[in-house]
């Protein structure tokens, strides 16, 4: 299967997707005109062209009305990206038909001069976990893959190029190193700063939205339970 990584915007949720054909025409047209719906259609077309029968997209494949399903999905997310044959990384703010090669504060002023995809917390594991990541611009033109762009991606993310080429498994990086890759990233909810890192450290924990900064304390405790790496105490948010 293929899997999609993207920056969230006007999305189509699970409930809307399964009820699309039962909607009145006006509501259905409103859903289909959203950028999030076009993203679903275009990524499905790409997956079909690449010969895949299945495509997984977080926005419409998780029923977030169920807290147990949401918790299972978040705890399984890293593994789902890791097991995918290819991950499509959709850069909705890139107009050019080539990958950006230098910082542009005027164009990407909200995200340190690089496309927004690179400053969001969840996309960190979505860059590292899959064996193959292919980048697309806003018009769904391919602009390179992770292995080809490893040197440029290292410059943008500070993640060593050998990890981007060969994956996290079997490599020895300290807890503080991995934490540092997430230091300048942001999430919509405070708790997701912790939840988005679970897979990178090989830990699981229940989702408790509303706990705020305590989520990060729980993440640290879970890491300590499986690792004696004392560099975790060097982390300063």
Q: Using CA atoms, how far apart are residues 39 and 46, in angstroms rounded to an integer? A: 10
Question: Quick one: pLDDT band at residue 147, thresholds 50, 70, 90?
Answer: very high
Q: Using CA atoms, how far apart are residues 67 and 71, in angstroms rounded to an integer? A: 6
Q: pLDDT (tens digit, 9 = 90+) per residue, 170-213? A: 678 899 999 999 998 999 999 999 999 999 999 999 999 999 99
At residue 236, the pLDDT reads 58
What would the mean pLDDT of 35-50 be, rounded to a whole number? 96
Question: Quick one: pLDDT band at residue 21, thresholds 50, 70, 90?
Answer: confident
Q: Answer whether 180's CB lies under 8 Å from 202's CB.
A: no
| Residue whose C-alpha is closest to residue 137's, from 104, 89, 91, 88 | 91
At residue 200, the pLDDT reads 95
Question: Quick one: pLDDT band at residue 151, thresholds 50, 70, 90?
Answer: very high
Residue 235, pLDDT > 60, answer no
* Angle at 125 (CA atoms; ends 183, 198), nearest 5 degrees: 80
Q: Which two tokens stand for residue 200?
A: 């990178």
What would the mean pLDDT of 58-83 be, rounded to a whole number? 94
């Amino acid at each position: 299967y293929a899997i999609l990584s993207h920056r969230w915007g006007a999305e189509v949720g699970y409930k809307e997707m399964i009820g699309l054909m039962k909607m009145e025409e006006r509501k259905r047209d409103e859903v289909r005109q959203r950028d999030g719906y076009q993203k679903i259609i275009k990524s499905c077309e790409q997956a079909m062209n690449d010969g895949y029968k299945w495509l997984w997209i977080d926005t419409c494949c998780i029923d977030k009305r169920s807290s147990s399903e949401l918790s299972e999905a978040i705890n399984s997310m890293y593994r789902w990206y890791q097991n995918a044959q290819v991950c499509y990384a959709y850069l909705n703010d890139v107009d050019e038909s080539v990958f950006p090669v230098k910082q542009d504060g005027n164009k990407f002023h909200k995200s340190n001069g690089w496309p927004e995809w690179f400053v969001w917390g969840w996309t960190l594991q979505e860059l590292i976990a899959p064996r193959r990541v292919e980048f697309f611009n806003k018009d769904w033109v391919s602009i390179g893959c992770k292995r080809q762009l490893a040197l440029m991606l290292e410059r943008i993310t500070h993640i060593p190029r050998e990890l981007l080429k060969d994956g996290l498994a079997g490599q020895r990086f300290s807890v503080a190193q991995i934490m540092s890759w997430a230091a300048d990233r942001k999430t919509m909810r405070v708790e997701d700063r912790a939840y988005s890192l679970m897979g990178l450290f090989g830990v699981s924990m229940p989702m408790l939205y509303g706990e705020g900064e305590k989520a990060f304390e729980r993440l640290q405790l879970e890491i300590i339970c499986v690792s004696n790496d004392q560099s975790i105490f060097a982390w300063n948010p």
